[in-house]
Amino acid sequence: MEAILKLFVILFSSLLIFNSTIAQNNFEFITPDSEINQVVKGKSLEEIDLVRYEINEEGMTLDPRLPSDWHWVAGRNLENKYGRVDFFFWNGLLFTNSVNVKYVNFRIRKMPNLFTDKIESNTFVIGFQKEDKGILFAATEEPKEVYIKLDKEIMGREMVYNFHLGKNEAKMFRITRKYPPFLP
């Protein structure tokens, strides 16, 4: 019986370690510098020296430490005690789905409805919504023709975007739910 109990404890501990490793490996971070992207690939946000990241009982700190010529960085699938957090810094603004970000050296736009996982795309994307307004962020390390498709359930109509992004380029779109939908 004691041997079975020890085996159970070992299996349970292994499962916890395995699950926490999976959560960390799902975090993705992208910058406007391909070389830095290769260095930070697969690392947790705590290991990346570009954003000060702290969690305490009062909330979460996301404080960027970006080179002066950078206008954006982004992270998605950050798991912590507040749940999943996606974010991007864009020209002096922080956009995030987390209402628990309490300190940042940027102005904050909190949009609690995350729809990143509902986006069909061939590049790095993040999507947030608050009421009838949304934000869509797209970035790439290599030049490409970007395809983004939002399902009808997100903004009340299917939305498709096709555009070119250059190497290490990003775009942000403000999108809205129209009643009835605006027809081009």
Residue range 89-104, pLDDT digits in tens: 999 899 999 999 987 7
- The verdict on residue 72 lying in a domain is yes
- The verdict on residue 23 lying in a domain is no
Three-state secondary-structure class, residue 117: helix
- The verdict on residue 16 lying in a domain is no
Three-state secondary-structure class, residue 18: helix
Higher pLDDT, 19 or 38: 38
Give the confidence band of 7 by pLDDT, cuts at 50, 70, 90: very low
Look-up: residue for tokens 């864009």? 90
Predicted pLDDT at 110: 94
- The verdict on residue 6 lying in a domain is no
- The verdict on residue 36 lying in a domain is yes
- The verdict on residue 137 lying in a domain is yes
- The verdict on residue 39 lying in a domain is yes
Retrieve residue 35's tokens.
Answer: 């070389």
Predicted pLDDT at 155: 87
Predicted pLDDT at 25: 47
Structural domains in the chain (count): 1
- CA dist 31 and 13 (Å) reads 35
Are 103 and 128 in contact, with CB atoms under 8 Å apart? no
Residues of the domain holding 111:
28-176
Predicted pLDDT at 106: 82
- The verdict on residue 143 lying in a domain is yes
- CA dist 122 and 101 (Å) reads 29
> What per-residue string of b and e applies to 125-140 under the rule 16 or more CB within 10 Å gives b?
bbbbbeeeebbbbbbb
Predicted pLDDT at 33: 96
Average pLDDT, the chain: 85
- CA dist 33 and 88 (Å) reads 15
> What per-residue string of b and e applies to 63-92 under the rule 16 or more CB within 10 Å gives b?
ebeeeeeeebbbbbbbeeeeebbbbbbbee
